[in-house]
Amino acid sequence: MSALLSHTLSKVKPSPSIAAKARVDQLRAEGRAIIDFTLGEPDFSTPAHIVQAGVAAALAGETKYTGSAGTPALRSAIVAKLARENDLAFTVEQVIVGSGAKSLIFNAFAATLNAGDEVIIPAPYWVSYPDMVVLNGGTPVIADCDASSGFKLTPPVLEAAITPQTRWLVLNTPNNPSGAVYSRSELQALCDVLRRHPQVWVMTDEIYEHFVYGLARHVSPLNVAPDLAERALVINGVSKAYAMTGWRIGYAAGPAALVKAMALLASQTTTCASAISQAAAVAALEGPQACVQEARRTFQERRDAMVKGLNAIAGIHCAVPDGAFYVFPSVAGLAGRCAGGQALRDDTDVARFLLDAAGVACVDGSSYGMPSFLRLSFATSLAQIAEGCKAISEAIATLR
Ligand code: PLP
């Protein structure tokens, strides 16, 4: 079998969050009760009016191939959404629909990277970016953003990471896994750096835009630097905002030439995103938005409960995330403590210990390029959050 596999494949790691989820499923199948904090998707059902639009489309015969860039109806709905909610002006030719934001990020790299091209990825990062860069022959350049800067990229760190080979900066706001949300002034300062380096494009992954809490507001880099539009690609989708992860609809907006290149790639790979899902996505973007605000309020309440629960545990320090649906606490305080005579060396050991001793599943920070931290999703019920924090606290109390 190994003779069959490509050299490229050997450079790709399995997604750690998908692997963690598989471990949870396996342990549950063995009869263990596991509290799952690995979830990367809302735990709600897709709102009924969106499901009904998908069903109606299927019954009306919208079951054929569509254009590779998406249906005219969905592309128009995306143009209107970007204008209405983000104050961003795009034309239909500058918008493309794909089978999830993930496939569009991949296609954007596939359409633009040559061997030796570098992509700056601030850490902590969503696990798929570096692997997608590698799969497309590029070189990920990891820019470390530590907790003291709110896990955000700063202008000096960006400046130091840029070389003549840099093709892209990937910015993810709100961020998975840290929950960091970039402010206008922070984006302005980063865009000032980008202006000095015309070879660098910026890809902004805004998939968690609606999940911002307290005083935080989502801002797109193009809101503060419209002059960068000629080298910016906005990535978004309906997966998180409308609890539509399984429908697989994402979208991207950027220069028409790049969008055309991405559509060409789609035409020779996936052909198009599901016609039925595209019809449902039109209903999501054009229909009532109360479900999104309701989800935001629910997540904020869960965030507060989880932060409080974790900060009550000695050895765990949890900053309050401004966005997304994850907390990213430091577990550095647990390093060196002993479980059954064995010292916990790092975040990976702590995650394993919590699964074994507390029955709580989460993902190690190392997987996101930031050791000493854990990612816990609060896209689960308040009851599970309370039970999970209690189980973690009791397990940690047994450490020597
Ligand atoms: N971008 C980020 C930061 C994510 O966390 C995810 C999913 O977890 C995606 C993109 C992928 O979204 P989609 O379901 O649209 O492929």
DSSP string, 55-72: HHHHHTT--S---TT--H
Atom of ligand 1 nearest to the CA of 249: 15
- Among residues 222, 244, 328, the alpha carbon closest in space to that of 292 is found at 244
Burial 324-355 (b: 16+ CB within 10 A, else e): bbbbbbbbbbbbebebeeeebebbbbbbebbb
- Non-local (6+) Cβ contacts of 324 within 8 A are 174, 175, 176, 177, 179, 208, 211
Q: Is the CB of 204 under 6 A from ligand 1?
A: no
User: Distance, CA 191 to ligand 1 centroid (Å)?
Assistant: 24
Q: Is the CB of 126 under 6 A from ligand 1?
A: yes
Residue pair 134/374 in contact (Cβ under 8 Å)? The answer is: no
User: Of 41, 109, 236, 240, which is best to mutate to test ligand 1, by the most ligand atoms within 8 angstroms of its C-beta?
Assistant: 240
User: Distance, CA 59 to ligand 1 centroid (Å)?
Assistant: 29
Q: Is the CB of 176 under 6 A from ligand 1?
A: yes
Q: Is the CB of 38 under 6 A from ligand 1?
A: no
User: Distance, CA 248 to ligand 1 centroid (Å)?
Assistant: 10
Residue 331's identity, in one-letter code, is V
> How many Å from the N-terminal Cα to the C-terminal Cα in the chain?
46
User: Distance, CA 256 to ligand 1 centroid (Å)?
Assistant: 23
User: Distance, CA 249 to ligand 1 centroid (Å)?
Assistant: 10
- Among residues 376, 317, 97, 326, the alpha carbon closest in space to that of 211 is found at 326
User: Of 18, 210, 239, which is best to mutate to test ligand 1, by the most ligand atoms within 8 angstroms of its C-beta?
Assistant: 239
Pairing state between β 139-144 and 118-123: parallel
Residue 37 CA to residue 362 CA, distance in Å, equals 5
Q: Is the CB of 100 under 6 A from ligand 1?
A: yes
What pLDDT was estimated at residue 206?
98
What pLDDT was estimated at residue 3?
84
Residue 18's identity, in one-letter code, is I
Residue 220 CA to residue 90 CA, distance in Å, equals 14
Q: Is the CB of 98 under 6 A from ligand 1?
A: no
What pLDDT was estimated at residue 98?
98
- Strands, E, within the chain: which ranges? 35-36, 95-98, 118-123, 139-144, 166-172, 201-205, 232-237, 250-253, 326-327, 338-339, 342-343, 360-361, 363-364, 374-377
Q: Is the CB of 209 under 6 A from ligand 1?
A: no
Residue 219 CA to residue 86 CA, distance in Å, equals 8
Q: Is the CB of 207 under 6 A from ligand 1?
A: yes
**Angle value at C-alpha 269, between 267 and 271, nearest 5 degrees:** 45
CA distances for 340 relative to 33, 96, 127, 172, 356, angstroms: 22, 54, 32, 40, 12
> Which residue's alpha carbon is nearest to atom 7 within ligand 1?
40
Is 212 in a helix, a strand, or coil? strand
What pLDDT was estimated at residue 366?
95
Atom of ligand 1 nearest to the CA of 102: 16
User: Of 127, 207, 251, 325, which is best to mutate to test ligand 1, by the most ligand atoms within 8 angstroms of its C-beta?
Assistant: 207
Structure tokens at 36: 């799952």
Mean pLDDT by 10 residues, the chain (400 residues): 84 79 88 92 95 98 98 98 98 98 98 97 96 96 94 98 98 98 98 98 98 97 98 98 98 98 97 98 98 97 98 96 98 92 93 94 95 96 97 95
Atom of ligand 1 nearest to the CA of 41: 8
Residue 292 CA to residue 42 CA, distance in Å, equals 11
User: Distance, CA 68 to ligand 1 centroid (Å)?
Assistant: 20
Atom of ligand 1 nearest to the CA of 237: 15
